Amino acid sequence: MGNEDNRRRRSPCSCCLSVFKWIPVIFIFGVIAWSYYAYVVELCVLKTENRAAMIFMLIFYHIALVLFLWSYWQTINTPVGRVPAQWRIPDEEVNQLFRADNQETQKRILNNFARSLPVTNRTINGSVRFCEKCKIIKPDRSHHCSVCSCCVLKMDHHCPWVNNCVNFSNYKFFVLFLGYALVYCLYVAFTTIHDFIQFVQNENGLAVSEQGQPTGSGMGRFHILFLFFISIMFAISLVSLFGYHIYLVLVNRTTLEAFRAPIFNIGGPDKNGYNLGRYANFCEVFGDRWQLWFIPVFTSKGDGLYFTTSSDQFGSGTGQRYDAMGNTTSAAAAASSRLDVNHTDKLIDAIPLNNHQPHLEPDNVQSSSNSHPLIPSSPVIVNIDQKADAVPATKTATNNHVIMIGDQVVPKDPLQLNGIPSAIADDRIV
């Protein structure tokens, strides 16, 4: 990331590659310049006879063009959001990391260094994300761009049409660029469709005014025809692209996260980990001031290093960040883990109680899950020494212990239930 990258950028091959990368941008600016000539000169000045209509068309055309070019320039010219220097691992620890003989040692080194950093994203094996090229701990939602040769904050993708990474710094500008480009193309298409229809109806390809005189040269009419076709073609491609990024804004997701969900330290992979609700997601990109939402100035919330998660927004308020991501597990799993720890709750949930029967329990009793098949699921067992007045014994027992089943009190042993002896031992009585 240091001198090697700088030398590579200054090499002749890298200079030629840099010039080659600007070809898509130059092409876009060339199309815009030609469309300006075709619309302003050929359509409005030379063809339109109604001056009021011409002024009306030119005013709205230039408003759309200015917003389009402004947002496009901001997307191109905004520097890439780079990771700060404090996220870089010292060379000594990098050497220890590369010399580690197993994966657990590497994970321990990375976890120790990232202990004071606000990182919660992990790799597939649970380790802190580390960039071997930049020698840094990757902040949440950041990725290494091979074209920009650096790690980019909240990287969405690298767009060749702007020759820049779409990231935290210029994502608002990129969305506005797509929106205003779509508005520009649709406006040009709708204001030139009348001339396109006239061109089709005229078998010579030359429109005639109401006075019978040609309204423009044949080449000028072809300019307007091609302007209509190109605006429609770009509008069709921009509709899907702009609609997709509006969807990503509303769910607070990047293009990379849409294809591969971020992995959280607690909760695992979750595509909706940063979803705060549509309005909050929109404000995270466009800011809280609605007056500046559609102006190409930076108003995005945050610093690109820390991002509020859905657990922070809707969590249980425990004060521990991302702990609520564990709530993505089912409630049944949480209940089973609770029962495994607290056996009292387990017994309470496992033994149904009949409300119409008296419930008497001694202090030193135990429960058995292997009851006799002839005994109902909710027996009430009473020690006659402690509850002599409460249970009217009908038979004499040798050891003064009886078992009460419903309204029937039966001696413990030996006992015949419909001719079948009971096999309840002393230590099974609760």
Angle between helices 51-77 and 23-36 (to 10 degrees): 170
3 state SS of 402: strand
Distance CA 326, CA 251 (A): 20
Q: Distance of CA 73 to CAs 5, 118, 231, 282, Å?
A: 26, 32, 20, 22
User: Residue 228: CB partners within 8 Å, gap ≥ 6?
Assistant: 188, 189, 192, 193, 195, 196
Please pick, among 131, 159, 185, 283, the residue that the annotation labels catalytic.
159
* Count of residues making up the chain: 430
Q: Which of 68, 79, 280 is nearest to 167 (CA)?
A: 79
Q: Is residue 159 among the annotated active site residues?
A: yes
* Contacts of 320-323 spanning 24+ positions with Cβ under 8 A: 321/120, 322/120, 322/264, 322/265, 322/266, 322/267, 323/266
Structure tokens at 344: 């009292």
User: Residue 199: CB partners within 8 Å, gap ≥ 6?
Assistant: 205, 207, 221, 224, 225
Q: Which residue has the tokens 């429109």?
A: 207
Cβ–Cβ under 8 Å, residues 248 and 254? yes
Distance CA 51, CA 58 (A): 10
Q: Distance of CA 388 to CAs 356, 384, 401, 409, 427, Å?
A: 21, 5, 10, 12, 21
* Cα torsion angle, 133, 135, 136, 138, sign: positive
Residues labelled catalytic: 159
